[in-house]
Every structure is written in structure tokens, then in C-alpha cells.
Structure 1
Amino acid sequence: MSDPIWVLPVLELQGGCSSSCNRVHNRVVMNALSQRLVPDDLWELLKTELPVFSERTQGGGTPPVNQRRVLAAIVYILTAGCPWKSLPKAFDVSASTAHRRFTAWSAAGLWDRASDLAEHCLDPGLKSWIQVIATAGPSRYKSKPTTATWDPPSASRGRDHPLQ
């Protein structure tokens, strides 16, 4: 797929675009941004490393979201450093879906495997981009907190208790 960025100046020159024109403009911008965030070479390296989500056995629900779009949305969040709820709608991925996949992929060790793949990458630009993503992933991932043990106060307070 060629980079459709050349369309942007034409749309900006038109001025006073309708809402449908703005949607087209946003889609073109997001396609260009997604292509830069997850170039074809990076996608070819990582697509086999992504955990596969199976369809629901009971049927129903919404169809699965395109994995590449989700990856582009996650890379955007990781590199921009913004909150998940600030994910632009033009990615066509909800913030909750992006966060859910990010958590699953992090737990599956995707960022470590990406770092390993970067070591074998011949393209220095792609190698450094993979390293940026592989470093940002674990720093953003918060594993589930361990439940601390808490001993409730005893029902009877002894003479030595500080509140007595």
C-alpha cells in the first residue's frame, strides 16, 4: 500500500469541508499515521508473534478488530505517552480494546520477543523503532498488583492496645 499522504494538501486547500470530507480527511491521516507507526516490515515481523484471539463459542458479539489496527493504536499510545481514553477515534479501535490487547500481549511477552527480533533486524531505522516500542511496552504495562495480606483487628482489644 502506498503512502496516501499526498492527498492531505489537496483536502486542506479545499477549506470548509463537509463532515463527510472531514471523515475522509481523518481516515487518510490515520492511514498514513498507522503506516508510519507500523510499517509493512514491522508488521511482517510481529504478526506471527501476536496471540490469536479465538471467536466466542456461543457466537454473537462484535467481530474481532483488525490486529494491525490494534497494534498501530497501541504503538501510538506507547510513543505518545497519552492516556488510553485519549486514543483518537479515527484508529477505529476503542480504547478498551486497545488496552485489553495491550495487557494480553504484554502478559504473553510480546515486547521481549520484539526486542529479540530487533537484534536480528538489518534495517537500522526499523531496528531502532522496534527498540523504542519494545522499551515503551514494558514500562507502560502494569502487572496485576499482588494482594497484600491484612489481618483485621481482633474483636477484643487488650490492655496493651494503643486505643485503650
Structure 2
Amino acid sequence: GSEFGAQLEAAGLGFSKEVELIKICHERDLFTVGWAFTADEGRRMAEAGADVIGAIVGVTAGGLTGASKTQKLEHAAAQIQEICQAAKAVNPDIMVLTHGGPFKDVETAEYSLLHTDAVGYASGSSGERIPTESSVIEITKQYKKIRTSK
């Protein structure tokens, strides 16, 4: 739907290329994960033969570089559920994973699974960048407290 997305499509680099790649990989019996922001994208990825749909609801919140504003949990879960329903209408056995937006830690990941038909959570920033940032910041604070004998 965005102007940027339309420009990518016009250049032959957009979502349609991703769908085409999933289809080729499926035909070669490779395990595939297709990413979708909308129900229509979830449906298209399922039609292409994706084994898993990663349902994305935006840039993950949290940490130093995460999204400063995301949609509310309820809205994000509803968006995930729409993607689930669209993909499962094509393939009832397809697995859907939640990812991004307000789903930034264990509690919010659990919320995404309790309020949708998704079967798992695809961690990214929430499993590596955000915990690393907080650990590095904390250890740096501790090192700054080191005393010397002089």
C-alpha cells in the first residue's frame, strides 16, 4: 500500500518477488517462511506454498533504536489474527508466527499467542538487540564504579 512499496514493485523488487521466491522454493521442496504485514500478503504467501507465515505488525518497540510508538496490543493482535485467518483459509495447516510492533518481550509475546491463532513467536530484536543493549549498559555502569588504589 505505500508509495515506497509501489516503487519497489515497479522496479521488480517488491513483495511480488518475495512471493515468487517462496513459490520456487516450495516447488523445490524447501522449507519456507513468508513474511506478511497484511491479511492479503498472508493469503498470497500461503497460496505460494509458504510453510510458515511470519506475521509482522511493525518495527519492534524497545531498546535504544526500537520503534518509539507502536499500535496497542489489542490492535496488533487483531491484525495478526486477520493474517492467520487469511493464510489458514488457503492452507489450514500453515503455521503463523507473531513478530514486531508492541510484541517486544516475554509478556507481550505471550499476549500475542493467547489472543490469536498463531502457534509461535519469531523473536528478533527482542531476543538479541534489546537484551544485549540493557546488559552492555548495565555492565558499563558497573565498570564506571571501579575504584583504584590511587
Does the alignment reach a TM-score above 0.5? no
Q: Which of the pair has more CA radius of gyration?
A: 1
Q: Which has the higher helix share?
A: 1
Normalised by the length of structure 2, the TM-score is 0.31
Normalised by the length of structure 1, the TM-score is 0.29
Q: Which has the higher strand share?
A: 2
